Amino acid sequence: MMNGVNNIPNMRGGYKARERVTLFLIYLVLTVTAIAVLYPIYWIILGALNPGSSLFRTSMMPTGLTFDHFRDLFLNTDYLNWYRNTLFVATMNTILSTVLIVMTAYAFSRFRFPGRRATLMSMLVLQMFPSFMGMIAIYILLLQLNLLDNLWGLVLVYAGGSIPYNAWLVKGYFDALPKSLEEAAKIDGASNAYVFFKVMMPLSVPILTFVIVTNFIGPWMDFIFARLVLRSTEKMTLAIGLYNMVSGRANTDFTRFAAGSLLVAVPIAILFLFLQRYIIEGLKAGANKG
């Protein structure tokens, strides 16, 4: 009985201590992970800012601060060209595909017409093909249209490829919007265009943000089609240019690569962090739509 009484405070103390150990372990794991996550990023920043040019010389401790690598990048490579190209392709792709996607999704969501079900189903099947399968044909088509090694050719390929999946996604979102609002606006005498821009669009900001961001970021990441379509050095996008810098045997280009990567990664990462809520929601919706 004495034991039992004594046990209670002991147990409380033990519970607290265990809790504290757990918390300590959690923080330990979090810290170690944070280091592991940040290490490659820290390393590339060092590579970009440290003097010296080889991969081997890049050490963990900053040994000085120099912007030589950036100057080298701007003056001795086509980097600025690549940046401009990528920005151009990304912007044009975003505009073109967003317009096409929204039009398609709106038509499928708000109109009933013969052939609707068949086209919806074929879109679903189309988005399952690996985009690769059409590679050779796209190459030949662009060759015929004289759009090879042309940024517009790449824009067309991206925009065409993004329609089926995204249109499905946006259609799903539109379906969930209540029709009563539009009907009310129409009763008040609003035109189709007014309903679309002033009623539907403001309600669709989350999904539109998702479509815009993914279509904008896509060209910064795509390697396959950019490599297929663009041939000359001054027409390249960043993904190919940066790849060429580090794919060779020599590692002398490493610091250039580091500087170049930093200038891409920072803006894209900031964009992503600001809009992550929309991106996560969009991805979830995408998976649920199949």
Partner 1 sequence: MSAVAGHAAVQKRIAPISLFLSLLFMGLGQIYNRQFAKGILLALLEAGALVFGIKPFRHAMWGLYTLGETVQQRSARGAIIVQGDHSIMLMVEGLIYLLLFVLFAAVYILNVRDAYLVGKWREQGGKPRNFREMMSHAWERGFAYFLLAPAFVFALFIIVLPLVFGILIAFTNYSGPNHLPPKALVDWVGFDTFVSLVQLRAWKNTFLGVLTWTVVWAALATVTTYFSGMFYALLLSHPRVKFKRFWRTIFILPWAVPGVISILIFRNLFNGEFGPINRYLQAIGLQAIPWFSDPFWAKFMIVFANVWFGFPYWMALMSGVLTNIDREMYEAAEIDGASGWQRFRRITLPLLLFSTTPLVIMSFAHNFNNFNMIYLFTSGGPANPNYSYAGSTDILISWIYKLTLEQNKFNMASVVSIFIFVVVASFSIWNFRHTRAFKEEDMIQ
Q: Does the footprint of partner 1 cover residue 212 (CB under 8 A)? A: no
Closer of 43 and 74 to partner 1 (Cβ): 43
Say how many residues make up the chain: 290
Judged by CB, which is closer to partner 1: 84, or 110? 110
Q: Does 192 bind partner 1 (CB under 8 A)?
A: yes
| CB of 136 or CB of 181, closer to partner 1 | 136
| Sole binder of partner 1 in the list 5, 118, 128, 187 (CB under 8 A) | 128
Quick check: 166 and 211 in contact, CB under 8 A? yes
The least distance separating partner 1 from the CB of residue 48, rounded to whole angstroms, comes to 11
Minimum CB–partner distance for residue 203 and partner 1 (Å): 18
Taking CA atoms, 161 is separated from 101, 133, 156, in Å, by 11, 12, 8
Q: Does residue number 21 form part of the binding site for partner 1 (CB under 8 A)?
A: no
Under rule CB under 8 A, residue 180 binds partner 1: no
- Is the CB of residue 222 less than 8 Å from the CB of residue 151? no
Instruction: Determine the Cα–Cα distance for residues 287 and 285; give it in Å rounded to an integer.
Output: 5
Q: Using CB under 8 A, which of 88, 152, 194, 243 touches partner 1?
A: 243
In order, the DSSP letters of 220-279 are HH--HHHHHH--SGGG--HHHHHHHHHHSS--TTHHHHHHHHHHHHHHHHHHHHHHHHHH
Cβ 83 to partner 1, closest distance in Å? 13
Which of 11, 17, 21, 23 touches partner 1 (CB under 8 A)? Answer: 23
For residue 99, give every residue at least 6 positions away whose Cβ sits within 8 Å of its Cβ, in sequence order, or none. Answer: none
Among 70, 216, 220, 278, binds partner 1 (CB under 8 A): 220
Confirm or reject binding of residue 107 to partner 1 (CB under 8 A): yes
CB 105 within 8 A of CB 170: yes
Residue 113 CB, shortest distance to partner 1, in Å, is: 5
Is 19 a binding residue for partner 1 by CB under 8 A? The answer is: yes
Quickly tell me which residue has 């265009």 as its tokens. Answer: 193
Other beta carbons within 10 Å of 252: 11
Q: Using CB under 8 A, which residues numbered 158 to 177 contact partner 1?
A: 159-161, 163-164, 167, 172, 175
Exposed / middle / buried, residue 206 (Cβ in 10 Å: 0-12, 13-18, 19+): middle
Element (H, E) at 38: helix 2-49
Told to check if 203 binds partner 1 by CB under 8 A, we report no
- Residue from 87, 135, 190, 212 touching partner 1 (CB under 8 A): that is 135
Outline where 64-150 has alpha helix (H). Answer: 68-76, 79-110, 116-126, 135-144
The nearer residue to partner 1, 6 or 41, going by C-beta atoms, is 41
Is 120 a binding residue for partner 1 by CB under 8 A? The answer is yes
CB of 212 to partner 1, least distance (A): 17
* Binders in 38-67 for partner 1, by CB under 8 A: 38, 40-41, 43-44, 54-56, 58, 60
